[in-house]
Amino acid sequence: MDRRRFIASSFGAAMFPILFHRSLTSLALPPKRVLVLGGTNFLGPATVRALEVAGHSVSLFNRGVTNPQLFPLLEKLRGYRSPNADDQNLSSLAGRRWDAVIDVWPSDPSTVDLAARYLKDRTSHYLYVSSIAAYDASELEKVGLTEDAALWPWNNNPRSYNRSKAESERRLHALVGDRLTIVRPGPIKGDRDTTPDLYAWLRRAQDGGRHIGPGDGRDHVQIVDVVDVGRFLALAVDRGLFGTYNLTGSPMTFAEFLDRVKRAVRSTAEFVWVAQSFLHERGLDPDPGYLGKFPFWHPDPPHRGFFQISSQKAFAAGWETRPFYETVFEYLAWLDQMDNFDWQDELTPATEKSALDAWAAASPST
């Protein structure tokens, strides 16, 4: 089955409604003037839409290169950000003031720092999108990690995403102080996402038949919808929420995850749980990154807390998250319109079948 037929059949069977949840904000709150740095790639559009729905006046600052056709009715201020002060151009922001400024995604500390130095006295609320990657690796062994956990130290290497996010946070704290909001999302999925980690599991489920469920089903998965991250940023602007918030959603076991995957695409596939030790013997180990043969599977103790991070602080502040199937719907809808999306499963059918046959022979009682 080709990709377009796969996605179309998933939509047709599931008949998912596209639900736009009620705004997280009170209609009685006065609108604010918000400047979004970036705003036209992945998280940016979700954030801008959430702000618009909440009734705020939004201005975008970017180069006008990435998706310039988006948001034709919004004010667009052109310029260029750089880690080098001599190269950047923030002149279109001169003489202006906003109630809130949102820096959506950069990790280079110098780029983050220079913009904040220019804007810190032009706003009363500065928001920055960091990442759970900012947490020191030693913290990821812990289940229920909260916002006060230790971050990576700086090593003067802006190419290190983890350390750069952590250092960007520290510099913003020094510049902005208690007028700062930092959010730390986990893996973000949904509209405009092109990372094929979730897609691998959806495609296996839709193909039917028998597939490997890695481990025993008790390892955890934790993802967050891009729309939900955007809505929390709008919530923070509305209610003046300051401080740091994990935005990772609620953890689910791998068994729960694969069950939701199957239900999302109305699949009758069977996932057979295969012990990690057996997979290791066949060279089918979990990948330390996001992809590999078993995306999202991080069973080893040093990474066990990666998908069990606490978002309780955000939930207590009023954050809400969408159902899993809505994330799947918009994720697949976005991939469906991409003519250049080319995916090959890293776990080939032949390799998977061989492993399943060997596992059945070694475990006849199962």
Tokens standing for 350? 């032949």
Model confidence at 365, pLDDT cuts 50, 70, 90, reads low
Per-position b or e across 54-84, b if 16+ CB within 10 A of its CB: bebebbbbbeeeeeeebbeebebbebebeee
pLDDT value at position 178?
Answer: 97
pLDDT value at position 25?
Answer: 41
What's the chain's average pLDDT? 92
- Say if CB 347 and CB 279 are below 8 A apart: no
pLDDT surpassing 80 at residue 24: no
Tokens standing for 200? 């691998």
pLDDT surpassing 60 at residue 11: no
pLDDT value at position 27?
Answer: 47
Enumerate the domain spans of the chain: 31-360
Determine whether domain 31-360 maps to CATH 1.10.20.10. no
Average of per-residue pLDDT across 232-245: 98
pLDDT value at position 30?
Answer: 85
pLDDT value at position 271?
Answer: 98
133: exposed, middle or buried (Cβ count in 10 Å: 0-12, 13-18, 19+) = buried
- Say if CB 160 and CB 326 are below 8 A apart: no
CA distance linking residue 222 with residue 147, whole number of Å: 16
Model confidence pTM above 0.85: yes
What lies within 8 Å, CB to CB, of 278 at 6+ separation is 355, 358, 359, 362
Write out pLDDT tens, residues 29-47. Answer: 789 999 999 999 999 999 9
